[in-house]
Amino acid sequence: MTTAIRIILVDDHSIIRIGLKQILGRSPDLDVVGDAGNCEAAVALAKELLPEIALVDVNLPDVDGLETALRIGAVSPATRVALLSGAFSDRILKRGVAIGIRGFILKMEDSNRLAEFVRDIHQGGFCWPDGVRSAGAEEVCSPASSAKSPVAALNPRERAMLVELARGASLKEAAKSLGVRFKVADHIKQALMKKLDLHDRVELARFAMREGLIG
């Protein structure tokens, strides 16, 4: 028997989480193993359960869905993250692709398609809202285009560290956000700066802004 795909749900509205769990629960090959209402709880859950898929709301009360996705990736690199929202701006789409988001799912999407999206993402696919395809924005912020960026050479922890440092966090604060020890955080910092051939925080911040990793 094929092992079910392990999923966590992250949304600050419990009714949304309950609804998603019921929808996904109709499929025997999908298993919602946990849910959380904010970034901190989501990261702790991902670190403990190491899910294969995380469905994350863009708008969370403490940290937005994009940064939550980065932090999930830092503690569980194999987890593929898809963002949920009522609408996606070009900024969210471009930043999402830059940090390695694997799908963008509209909350008004047909519930019968949600399981298909999760399976596609699990198999290495990429999920775009239909409206994005029709508007031609897919080509502008496609995964293929993103792969040409130096960001593609970074692993999830390095991407998360880059964003933390670019936003002005100290290395101690970044280590706490990523859930790693200070020495590990310093190793991650040195590795990402070497890969990007950057030498100080100013260069890191400029790079992150240019790549759309921070606003």
Residue-wise pLDDT for 145-186, tens only, equals 555 668 778 888 888 898 889 888 899 999 988 888 899 999
Would you state the pLDDT for residue 147? Answer: 54
User: Is 71 part of any domain?
Assistant: yes
Q: What is the largest CA-CA distance in the chain?
A: 52
Whether residues 155 and 200 fall in one domain: yes
Using CA atoms of 150, 155, 160, 162 in order, give the dihedral in degrees to the nearest 10.
Answer: -40
Res 135 pLDDT > 70 = no
Domain boundary among 121, 146, 171: 146
Of 146, 170, 200, the residue that ends a domain is: 146
Q: How much is the average pLDDT of 193-210? A: 87
pLDDT tens digits, residue range 40-94?
A: 999 999 999 999 999 999 999 888 999 999 999 989 989 999 999 988 888 888 8
CATH of the domain at 101: 3.40.50.2300
Name every residue whose Cβ is closer than 8 Å to that of residue 32 and which is 6 or more positions away in sequence.
7, 8, 9, 20, 21, 24, 25
Residue 206, pLDDT > 90, answer no
Q: How many domains does the chain have?
A: 2
Question: How far is the first Cα of the chain from the last one, in angstroms, to the nearest whole number?
Answer: 45
Report the CATH number at residue 158.
1.10.10.10
Average confidence (pLDDT) over 121-130: 86
In a domain, 39, yes or no: yes
Helix (H, G, I), strand (E, B) or coil at 50: coil
- State the Cα–Cα distance between residues 113 and 173, nearest whole angstrom: 39
56 close to 81: Cβ distance less than 8 angstroms: yes
Task: For residues 23 and 97, state if they share a domain.
Answer: yes
Q: DSSP string of 146-174?
A: HTTSGGGGS-HHHHHHHHHHHTT--HHHH
Cβ-contact 157, 77 below 8 angstroms: yes
Domain that holds residue 64: 5-146
The verdict on residue 215 lying in a domain is: no
* pLDDT on residue 133: 55
Per-residue pLDDT band for 136 (boundaries 50, 70, 90) equals very low
pLDDT digits over 94-118, tens only?
A: 888 888 899 999 988 888 889 999 9
Q: What is the pLDDT of residue 155?
A: 84
Q: What pLDDT shows up at residue 99?
A: 84
What pTM does this model have? Answer: 0.80
pLDDT at position 9, please? 98
* One domain, residues 120 and 187: no
| 45 falls within a domain | yes
The predicted pLDDT at position 34 comes to 97
Same structural domain, 52 and 16: yes
* The pLDDT value given to residue 43: 94
Q: What is the pLDDT of residue 215?
A: 65
Query: Of 146, 170, 197, which residue sits at a domain end?
Result: 146
Residues 120 and 159 in one domain: no
For residues 215, 14, 128 and 67, what is the CA-based torsion angle, rounded to 10 degrees? 30
